[in-house]
Structures are given as C-alpha cells and as structure tokens.
Chains A and B, each alone.
Chain A
C-alpha cells in the first residue's frame, strides 16, 4: 500500500510537469526542447505503468470469479490457483438456474427493476417538471426540503414502515417494494430538474400557444429533449433496484419471492457450501450492470456531470 501511494505521488508530479516543460521548451533553446520531450515521454510512460498495474489489480478478482464459476469443486480449492478450468463446467450455470432456483430469482429481480425503472423515472420527471416550469408559493422551500431528505438514510425509517405494511398484510408480497416507487425519488427529481432548467422555454411557450396541455408539454416537448438524463436516471434506478438487499431482506420471506441478492445471501444446498455454482450466480448478477453500462455509456459521463453542477 505504501508502495502504491508513493508511485501515485510520483505520477502526480510527473503528470503536472508535462505541460510546464512544454512551455519552457517553446521559449528556450532546442536543447531544453529535447529535454522537455524526454520528460513528457517519461511521464507518459509512468502514467501508463500505474494505470496498467491499477487496471490489472481491479480486473484480477473478476477474472478469478469467471474462472471459478466454471470449475469443479476440487479445482476450486486447488492451490496454486488453476486459472484455466479443465474441463469447463458449464453445468454450474445450469445448476444455479435450476437446482438453486436462480431462474425464479432473476425473474423477480427483473420484474422489480423494470417496474422501478419505468414508474420512478416517469414520476420523478413529472415532479421535476413541476419544480422547473411553474412558479408557485413555497416552491423553493419544498425544493430545499427535498434536497435535505437526501441526507436521511432510508434504512433509518424502516421500522414504522415495516409495522405499517405488516398491518396491511403486505409482508412477503412485492407491494412494499413497489408502492414507494410511485412517488419518485429525491435524487432523480433533482437530476431531472437541473436538466430541465437548462432547456429553452421558447418551445414550451410555442406548444402552449398551440393549445397543448401541461401534460402534453411534459410528454411531447420536455421529455424528447431530455434523452441523456432520462437514460441516466433510468439506468441508475434499474441498478438501485437490482442490487437492493435491505428492502427485500426485510419485506420478503418466502423462497419463491426472493430476489438475486437474497438468493446469494442464502446460497446453500443445506449441507455444504456450493461455491462454483454460487460464483456462477454471482457472474449473472454482475453481468447486468456491465450490459446497462454498455448501453448508456455515452450518457453516463454527462449524467454524472449534471449531478456535480449544484
């Protein structure tokens, strides 16, 4: 760790010196110019080394995971690590889906995540439209109140909700996970509102003069212009639901209702640990964020930028 930090520091100095030497070289003689070039090459070289080592360290556990998911139990415990499984045990995946019911869990998780994505995104953008395009007394106060709820850890509020949902008989149904999505979420509303504020009002006005209702302005004018933020919010809402362990753990109890995180928490065949199959299920769970990132990559960069402009 110490070594890592030191090399990071060195890289930092090298990184910032590039442009300095560049300017120098323009002003002074060619001998200095040559030296500047050398520094620049050297700093690029060091940057590459750090990045390659870092990326290798980041990727190593994932490579191990994929390899482990294709092993037999004996190979799994082999030391030194047998990186290329022999034979490839594809049946681990089949078993994860059938014997360990992951087909069911994936279905549950997909249903909840798509529901959250569609409903929460739509409602959040509707609320954000209200904040961004209408003037009404108390608007700023409500908005600040909404931002301050971001500091309220949701898990802290679970006990009263659990008691309430229990009295409704909603425990071990999907309702406690689905109903709260109907009201949007503060962070999504904030992201949408920031984006809508940057859209020109002329199109709204034109649509209004043409007789569009508020709802149609939202649907036909605002949303089509907001593709980047819609995609970013949709992806992040999907992922938040996909990886949520707290709420399913508290509100769901029967095996057939489990989502993927619960399936992983309770992964056992009742007698011994079944790691290769569990790693196969983990690969399935982790593949979804990768796929979503591949889809929304172009927009996620800009989406994070929106969040930052406070």
Chain B
C-alpha cells in the first residue's frame, strides 16, 4: 500500500520536490494560512498581556527600568485611590444604564419594524445610521448639543417646558449630570442592536406562533413564551457585545471632558470637570500616557480586563439558567 502510493506519486510528479510536497500537505498549508494571525496574536496580544501583568507589579515611570514592588499598585488602586473608586461608580452606572438602553431600545425598535409597511426602510436607515458614527465626531456634536447656555439644543428643548437652562458638562453643584449626558448619547446608537434583533426575529419560525395561538395564548403570552425564549441567544450575544463595548467607552467621554470647549487643552483634565466624566479608559489614558506612570497604568489595565471577564462570565451564567437553544 505504502510503496504503491509512493511510486504512484513519483510517477505522477516526475521530479520529487520535498519542499513542494511539504507545502501541499493539508496541515502545513493550513498553518501557513493562519500564520499571520498567530504571529499577530503573539506580538500584539500575548506578549503585551504578559508584559502588562508583569509591569503591574512594578514601579515603572517614563525613565528607568521597572522595579518590582509586589502588590503595592493594586493596594493603592483598590484601597487608596478615591478617583478610581469614583471611576468604578461611574462605570457601574454607565454600563448598566447604557446596556439597558441598547437592549430594551433595540428590542422595541426591532419589534416595531418587524413587519412590512410603507416607510419601514426609511425608519431602519434613520435609526441605524448614527450607530455607524460612534466616536469623537459625534461626541463633538453632542458637546454642543449639551451646551451650557440656552443656545444648546437640549436646553432649548427643555426650555419649551419652562425648565431653566442646565449646565450639563461643568455643573458645580451636580457634576454627575455630565455622566447622565454621556449615558443619554446612547439613545442615538440603539440601531446596531436593533439590526441584530431584527435578524434574530426573522429567524423565528411562524409555526411557533401558530401553535401558541391554537393553544389560546394571548399577545403578551406569545411575546413572553415564544419570542423571548427563542430570542435568548441573540439577546445574550447583544448583551455581551454591548457590555464589552460600554466598558471601553472613551472617545465621547474624552471630548466631553473638554467641557464643551471642544478641545483638550493644557488646563482641562482628561477626566472632565471635577473628574465627573472619569471612565476606565480615560483614567488609564491619564495615568499611563499623560503622567507616564506605566506600572500603575498596567495595574489599572489588568483590573479593567478582569472586570470585563467577570461581567461576561456573570452574563453567561445568568443566561444559562433560562436559555433555550432551538437551532
């Protein structure tokens, strides 16, 4: 058998070229194709992660080599750093509320748009387009929309209801208003989850609704016992993606922190007026790249990473209790 195939091959190829033969082996060719990603993973994921873990245990400034100080960075960060405590509080509020806006808002829009009627396409486009624009530019627009004086669009709108203009981004009495403005911006980005929900709704077979109807299920019951259970994989996917995305909020927070001046200058903090807009990444940015405190910055980075993992795990475990996979 063995000799037969060998002679066959030799007969077929004429010349015997070991390199070409090696490249044509399925396993070798496969590894050659995925090699770019493996190399990129080693250089831009694995090495930086290990190095960040190591650096987080060191005192490491702009000049000089890292020096081992054990857990001191973590102790300072978790127990002696009020700014980080405030940042965590902000992120808890921001992530929970923004995720709720994404999931509930996206779901409601998807349910409304999940049937044919004139103008459906127009509404889809209007709701979806802003979610492609996330970033500094839309943040720049919203700094002005949340402008302090009565020229700001939001203040103009609430002025219709005779509410006096609010200083959203630099409020001395209630600095937290800046965070609420940051959360409110997410109303413009529900379209991304909406589109995924629409795809999910399209995948639910009408026979389930038919069966539920024959069994006498009402509207709410059909939503609760057919739509929701069959949509759980999609809800799970959307929740995890938005959670991870919201932990990484940066662009909008940074330009909001300019305090409406539209520029991050030398005298404005990256974290906003009285740290009112501190998020994980703006705080990491400030410590690591404004103050060049690499050791401390690494500890922050690791804590952010661990929180991301923990949140994802919590969501996965919670959903596992009532997930129905039907496909």
Which chain A residues have a beta carbon within 8 Å of chain B's beta carbons?
Answer: 8, 11-13, 15-20, 23, 44, 47-48, 50-51, 54-55, 57-62, 64-65, 68, 76-81, 123, 126-127, 129-131, 133-137, 139, 142, 145-146, 149-153, 155-163, 180, 182-184, 186, 189, 214, 239, 242-246, 249-250, 260-261, 264-268, 273, 275, 278-279, 282, 285-286, 289-290, 292-293, 297, 300-301, 304-305, 307-308, 310
Q: At the interface, yes or no: B74 with Cβ under 8 Å from chain A?
A: no
Q: At the interface, yes or no: B294 with Cβ under 8 Å from chain A?
A: yes
Dominant secondary structure at the B interface: helix
When the two chains form their complex, are residues B26 and A182 in contact, meaning their CB atoms are under 8 A apart?
Answer: no
B residues within 8 A CB of A135?
26-27, 30
5 A–B contacts, CB within 8 A, in A order = A79-B151, A152-B308, A156-B284, A245-B250, A285-B140
Pairs of residues from A and B, 4 with the lowest C-beta to C-beta distance, nearest first = A183-B40, A130-B33, A134-B30, A243-B135
Highest count of chain B CB atoms <10 Å: which of A134, A149, A184, A266: A134
Which chain B residues have a beta carbon within 8 Å of chain A's beta carbons?
Answer: 26-34, 36-41, 43-45, 47-49, 51-52, 55, 108-109, 111-113, 115, 117, 119, 122-123, 125-130, 132-138, 140-142, 144-145, 149-151, 153, 156, 187-188, 195-196, 199-200, 202, 209, 213, 218-220, 222-223, 233-234, 237, 244, 247-248, 250-251, 254-255, 258, 261-265, 281, 284-285, 288-289, 294, 297-298, 301-302, 304-305, 308-309, 312
Docked Cα-Cα span, A157 to B123, in Å, equals: 39
Highest count of chain A CB atoms <10 Å: which of B48, B136, B301: B136
Q: Tell whether A17 pairs with B219 under 8 Å between CB atoms, given A131-B34, A245-B251, A245-B254.
A: yes
Since A159-B52, A264-B137 are in contact, a sample of 10 more A-B pairs with Cβ atoms closer than 8 Å, ordered by chain A residue number, is A12-B223, A13-B220, A19-B209, A20-B219, A156-B49, A159-B55, A260-B137, A265-B264, A286-B141, A289-B129
Q: Tell whether A163 pairs with B294 under 8 Å between CB atoms, given A129-B33, A149-B45.
A: yes
Docked Cα-Cα span, A129 to B33, in Å, equals: 7
Highest count of chain B CB atoms <10 Å: which of A23, A61, A142, A214: A61
Docked Cα-Cα span, A113 to B70, in Å, equals: 42
When the two chains form their complex, are residues A134 and B126 in contact, meaning their CB atoms are under 8 A apart?
Answer: no
When the two chains form their complex, are residues A265 and B136 in contact, meaning their CB atoms are under 8 A apart?
Answer: yes
When the two chains form their complex, are residues B135 and A60 in contact, meaning their CB atoms are under 8 A apart?
Answer: no
Q: Tell whether A130 pairs with B30 under 8 Å between CB atoms, given A11-B108, A156-B305, A183-B37.
A: yes
Q: Which of B43, B112, B123 contacts A11 (CB 8 A)?
A: B112
When the two chains form their complex, are residues B109 and A308 in contact, meaning their CB atoms are under 8 A apart?
Answer: no
Q: Which of B47, B138, B250 contacts A286 (CB 8 A)?
A: B138
Highest count of chain B CB atoms <10 Å: which of A68, A130, A267: A130
When the two chains form their complex, are residues B288 and A146 in contact, meaning their CB atoms are under 8 A apart?
Answer: no
Residue of B nearest to A51 (CB): B123
When the two chains form their complex, are residues A136 and B30 in contact, meaning their CB atoms are under 8 A apart?
Answer: yes
A199 to chain B, nearest CB (A): 16
When the two chains form their complex, are residues B151 and A184 in contact, meaning their CB atoms are under 8 A apart?
Answer: no
Residue of A nearest to B38 (CB): A142
A residues within 8 A CB of B111?
12, 15-16
Q: Tell whether A214 pairs with B108 under 8 Å between CB atoms, given A64-B153, A151-B312.
A: no
A residues within 8 A CB of B47?
160
B residues within 8 A CB of A12?
108, 111, 223
When the two chains form their complex, are residues B112 and A47 in contact, meaning their CB atoms are under 8 A apart?
Answer: yes
Residue of B nearest to A272 (CB): B261
A residues within 8 A CB of B135?
242-245, 261
Docked Cα-Cα span, A19 to B262, in Å, equals: 50
Residue of B nearest to A9 (CB): B108
Q: Which of B41, B115, B134, B263 contacts A145 (CB 8 A)?
A: B41
